[in-house]
Amino acid sequence: MEMTVQQIEEVTVVTWRGRLDSASMAQTEQAFLRLWDEGCRRIVFRLDELEYVSSAGLRVMLLTVKKSRADGGSVGFCLLRDTVREVLDISGFAQIFPLFDTLEAALAHVSAQGEG
């Protein structure tokens, strides 16, 4: 798993590359928590380069959503590959995660949620 981070106005955009599974979940979770501790409260995860997500990876994704809701932040996931979207659909997570087809839609959602 590889992550890149960029700032677009007040939103932190994180691109996940590779596989989000049991081998990479601890590293990915720590990276998210580090961003959170640094004050990043509006985060968009780009998933167009995420090749695979396992149940362990879903746990990390769920952590991001729960933490943001509990601590007054906002997250969104965008540009999902079909294989990743299928895992989210089958697991039921697509119903609870804020998913967007475009980066622009995710940015707008996260920015609006953060204003509340």
CATH of 2-115, picked from 3.10.180.10, 3.10.129.10, 3.40.50.300, 3.30.750.24, is: 3.30.750.24
- Nearest Cα neighbor of 78 from 25, 21, 11 is 11
State residue 115's pLDDT score. 60
**How much of the chain is helix, strand and coil, in % rounded to 5?**
45, 30, 25
Q: What is the pLDDT of residues 49-102, one digit of tens each?
A: 999 999 999 999 999 999 999 999 999 999 999 999 999 999 999 999 999 999
Q: What is the pLDDT of residues 5-53, one digit of tens each?
A: 999 999 999 999 999 999 999 999 999 999 999 999 999 999 999 999 9
- At residue 113 the predicted structure's pLDDT band, cuts being 50, 70 and 90, is confident
Residue 1 and residue 50: Cα distance in Å, rounded? 9
State residue 114's pLDDT score. 59
Instruction: Domain ranges for the chain, please list them.
Output: 2-115
Residues whose CB falls within 8 Å of the CB of residue 76, separated by 6 or more in sequence, listed in order: 43, 44, 45, 98, 99, 100, 106, 107, 109, 110
Partners of residue 11 on adjacent β-strands:
8
Reduced 3-state DSSP string for 29-76: HHHHHHHHHCCCCEEEEECCCEEEECHHHHHHHHHHHHHHHHCCCEEE
